[in-house]
């Protein structure tokens, strides 16, 4: 993992969890096995992102899918070191940046699966404002919580601290730009 990324990663306190209804969610199925600690950073705005882990564990009603990350609502940003993509823009064959506890790598996506599912918005506070992600409200979606470790989104509570990546807002076609921008 680059020093720039390591310096921006931090556990952030959850301030709000809101059920927001049904919408289109994206699963990224990769061409190789993922480690349980591997994941991607997704978020509603350019202020930052929440790390979502691979489906590399059994959960209530779901067998492990060691090749998949259920990344949430298709409008979100997917952080990719130098730029962001909308989840809706990710195509099969495209390489996606993954991180785990010790390193990062790029791995090609084999399939993008989009289906209608229920969502929850997870909001975290930062020194500069807030970071949020819209995630499927499912036992198969796991985040990294500071004291609980790998935790299903169903078990999150206000006050929990999840691994986030802060960023400077302001994007045009995924590239960082210097401009005044308001995103909520």
Q: Do 162 and 156 touch, CB atoms closer than 8 A?
A: yes
pTM: 0.88
pLDDT surpasses 70 at 180? no
pLDDT tens figures, 14-50: 999 999 999 999 999 999 999 999 999 999 998 899 9
Greater confidence (171 vs 44) lies with 44
């Amino acid at each position: 993992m680059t020093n720039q990324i390591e310096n921006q990663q931090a556990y952030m306190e959850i301030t709000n969890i809101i059920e927001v209804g049904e919408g289109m969610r994206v699963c990224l199925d990769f061409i190789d096995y993922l480690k349980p600690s591997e994941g991607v950073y997704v978020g509603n705005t350019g202020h930052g992102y929440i790390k979502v882990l691979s489906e590399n564990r059994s959960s209530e009603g779901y067998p492990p899918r060691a090749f998949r990350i259920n990344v949430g609502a298709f409008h979100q940003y997917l952080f990719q070191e130098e730029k962001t993509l909308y989840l809706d823009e990710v195509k099969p064959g495209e390489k996606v940046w993954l991180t785990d506890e010790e390193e990062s790598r790029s791995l090609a996506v084999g399939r993008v699966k989009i289906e209608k599912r229920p969502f929850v918005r997870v909001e975290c506070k930062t020194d500069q404002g807030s970071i949020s992600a819209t995630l499927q409200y499912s036992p198969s979606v796991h985040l990294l919580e500071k004291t609980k470790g790998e935790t299903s989104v169903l078990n999150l509570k206000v006050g929990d601290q999840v691994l986030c990546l802060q960023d400077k807002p302001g994007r045009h076609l995924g590239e960082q730009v210097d401009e005044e921008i308001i995103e909520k």
